[in-house]
Amino acid sequence: MVPEKLTLSLAGGRFSTSLLKAGSGEPLLYLHGALGPAGGWSSFLDQLANDFTVYAPWFPGYGETQGIEYLEDTTDLALYHMELMDTLSLSSAHIVGHFIGAMAAAEVAALDPHRVNKLVLASAAGLWLDEAPVADFFGMNPKDLSDALWADPDSPAAQEARSQEENDETRAILALERISGLSAVGKFLWPIPDKGLKRRLYRVNAPTLILWGAQDKIISPAYAPALQRLLPGSQVETLESAGHLLMLEQPVQFTERVTAFLNA
């Protein structure tokens, strides 16, 4: 499936963003994480587009987006995504988020519960456990970071990701994009990703699925039950043989769990 690329102006031109759109059915907004394929169209999105109209925007500060300097905190981040939904004429949608994308999705669901039909939080940032600190990926060298993203650094998904960086020019471009993206998300994740989300989660009333990779080395699966305690009635599922990039390492399991939950 070849997605359509859209470039949108938000808030009277204050922001500009790009997104990929494909599929048909109920709207599904996918918010990518800090370390995954920013704005890329992967097989799991292709599968979700069989059941839903998938909108996959670049996170602020990634790709060709403009206006990250206007976002100071997580409230701004949530309002930005509400503005995006308004521009797309989406009064509500399912929202699926990964890591900081899940953090943003949860903030939207807390600040404006009617925006979110069902919520999927995959390896969600937003909390802090002293006994299970989130990895300091800002300070990792590229090899250690690459190894930390996967349950098995030699898995086909990991090898495919590394193959994209085989030539010097591509590696340099991807490195610059990663530096730019991590600089943008630092204000929401650094020094720790606890920006008060736990105080607002009581407002979330959307049915919620919490997904985690069993071998996530970036943010421990211990955060899944901690998040569930703050979201009464939510479901937790763990994907075996999956690390932080669970949707890439186990795309079939990921899409099956998400589709079944959203269609239930």
Least confident span in 141-150, 171-180, 196-205, 225-234: 171-180
Give the residue among 5, 166, 192 at the shortest CA–CA distance from 103. Answer: 192
Phi/psi at 226 (5° precision):
-65, -40
The predicted pLDDT at position 167 comes to 55
**CB neighbours of 76 closer than 8 A, spacing ≥ 6?**
70
Q: Rounded to an integer, what distance in angstroms lies between the CA atom of residue 61 and that of residue 14?
A: 13
Q: Are 155 and 249 in contact (CB under 8 A)?
A: yes
DSSP category for residue 66: B
DSSP category for residue 217: S
Q: Rounded to an integer, what distance in angstroms lies between the CA atom of residue 184 and that of residue 218?
A: 18
- Tell me how far CA of residue 237 lies from CA of 66, 146, 168, in angstroms: 35, 24, 39
Q: Rounded to an integer, what distance in angstroms lies between the CA atom of residue 86 and that of residue 54?
A: 16
Between 162 and 44, residue with greater pLDDT = 44
Q: Rounded to an integer, what distance in angstroms lies between the CA atom of residue 99 and that of residue 105?
A: 10
Read off the pLDDT of each residue in 52-61 and give the average, rounded to a whole number.
95
| Residue 186 pLDDT exceeds 60 | yes
**CB neighbours of 97 closer than 8 A, spacing ≥ 6?**
30, 31, 33, 103, 104, 105, 106, 120, 121, 122, 124
Between 170 and 35, residue with greater pLDDT = 35
Other beta carbons less than 10 A from residue 176's beta carbon: 10
Q: Rounded to an integer, what distance in angstroms lies between the CA atom of residue 166 and that of residue 204?
A: 43
The domain defined by 4-263 carries CATH number 3.40.50.1820: yes
- pLDDT, one tens digit per residue, over 121-133 is 999 999 999 999 9
Read off the pLDDT of each residue in 159-180 and give the average, rounded to a whole number.
64
The predicted pLDDT at position 39 comes to 63
165 falls in which pLDDT band (50, 70, 90)? low
The predicted pLDDT at position 156 comes to 87
Q: What is the 3-state secondary structure (H, E, C) of 139-192?
A: HCCHHHHHHHCCCCCCCHHHHHHHHCCCCHHHHHHHHHHHHHHHHHHHHHHCCC
- pLDDT, one tens digit per residue, over 84-102 is 999 999 999 999 999 999 9
The predicted pLDDT at position 131 comes to 97
Read off the pLDDT of each residue in 34-61 and give the average, rounded to a whole number.
90
Q: Rounded to an integer, what distance in angstroms lies between the CA atom of residue 78 and that of residue 99?
A: 15
The domain segmentation of the chain, as residue ranges, is 4-263
Taking the whole predicted model, whether its pTM rises above 0.75 is answered as yes
Q: Rounded to an integer, what distance in angstroms lies between the CA atom of residue 107 and that of residue 124?
A: 11
